[in-house]
Amino acid sequence: MEKKGIMLCGHGTRLKTGVEAFNQFAEEFQNQIDGYETTSAFMEFAQPDFEAGVKKLADKGIKEIIALPLFLFTGVHTEKDIPCMLYQLGKKYDVSIKLGNYMGVCEEMVTVCENLIREAAPEEFINDIGSTTLVIAGVGSSRVKANADLASITRYVQERFRFPSATVGYLSRMTFPPIQEVIDDVCLLPYKNIIVLPYFFFDGIYMRRAKVAMERGQQSHPEKNFVFTDLLASENTLFELLKKRLNEVISGKVDAIQDIPKEELENYHGHHHHHGHGHHHDHSHHHHHGHDNHHSEECNHKKDN
């Protein structure tokens, strides 16, 4: 039986720490997968790129590749760029490539957030829920649906803990409310404990800005107790979700490339960086165009036909 390949697809970043964090995450994931030739690649800003990843597997005699996008929500990248790029690379290197779903709004991502909060928050925060509020920091998008998905995750997390208040603040200028404004407003509410959860996979510009916003709030309101949770990629539940996305492809339930009209796949002319974006994947980059990458389709991840 011919060995198949798996390629973990990241967005890419100009920040070295972000690239290193992705590579470490990819290595840990690959160590958990048996029976496949595995590699990882970036869509832009970092090497190896998708073509190098596909070529590496093809050179090893791999004829079937499953690509798994490490992206939080949908947007131009997951709806168009990634499936079209992979389709064309499949033709170029004579390999079959199938594409899994992004993470989305699902039970696992809510559990990731719950675990991060339980690990970071002192016991009194959880024991005194009535005095504790949650702020989730996301990138933000020009698409309403994308921002609504992060708001949905926030609500699910709020329900898990029964926080009296939970809010989303955004880092991108393309949407509102900005994270600093949210933290300043939350400081005026009667909650003494404030948990800030950065909804990003890895270290990056946006994560650092979120931390600065929290530190400013702390300086202005020393009477408040702040906690900043770890990043999403530190949570092992994410590996389980990736395996679930892998199994969806193996079982034949999902192939995101097949969702794209053939004509669009054939006529795609490369990823141009002139659209606006506010996706939530690795988010370490700091370009300011407007494609968004937040999406959900609820926990079962069924696509609209």
Q: What is the rounded distance in angstroms from the CA atom of residue 286 to the CA atom of residue 234? A: 22
Cis peptide, bond prior to residue 177, ω within 30 of zero: yes
Question: In which domain, by residue range, is 141 found?
Answer: 107-234
In which order are the strands placed within the sheet that holds 4-10?
36-42, 4-10, 64-69, 96-99
Residue 129 lies in a domain: yes
Please name every residue paired with 138 in a beta bridge, in sequence order, or none if there are none: 170
User: Both 92 and 121 in a single domain?
Assistant: no
Burial of 297 (0-12, 13-18, 19+ CB in 10 A): middle
Q: Which stretches of the chain are assigned E, i.e. beta strand?
A: 4-10, 36-42, 64-69, 96-99, 132-138, 165-170, 193-198, 225-228
Residue 239 lies in a domain: no
Task: Look up 272 and say whether it is catalytic.
Answer: no
Residue 67 lies in a domain: yes
User: Both 30 and 89 in a single domain?
Assistant: yes
User: Both 12 and 87 in a single domain?
Assistant: yes
Could you give the number of structural domains in the chain? 2
Residue 273 lies in a domain: no
Residue 294 lies in a domain: no
User: Both 224 and 114 in a single domain?
Assistant: yes
User: Both 46 and 83 in a single domain?
Assistant: yes
Residue 165 lies in a domain: yes
CATH number at residue 130: 3.40.50.1400
User: Both 124 and 201 in a single domain?
Assistant: yes
Residue 47 lies in a domain: yes
Q: What is the rounded distance in angstroms from the CA atom of residue 5 to the CA atom of residue 7? A: 7
Residue 278 lies in a domain: no
Tens of each residue's pLDDT in the chain, 305 residues: 688 999 999 999 888 999 999 999 999 999 999 999 999 999 999 999 999 999 999 999 999 999 999 999 877 888 899 999 999 999 999 999 999 999 999 999 999 999 999 999 999 999 999 999 999 999 988 778 888 999 999 999 999 999 999 999 999 998 899 999 999 999 999 999 999 999 999 988 899 999 999 999 999 999 999 999 999 999 999 999 999 999 999 999 999 999 999 999 999 987 654 333 444 444 433 333 334 343 333 333 333 33
User: Both 113 and 34 in a single domain?
Assistant: no
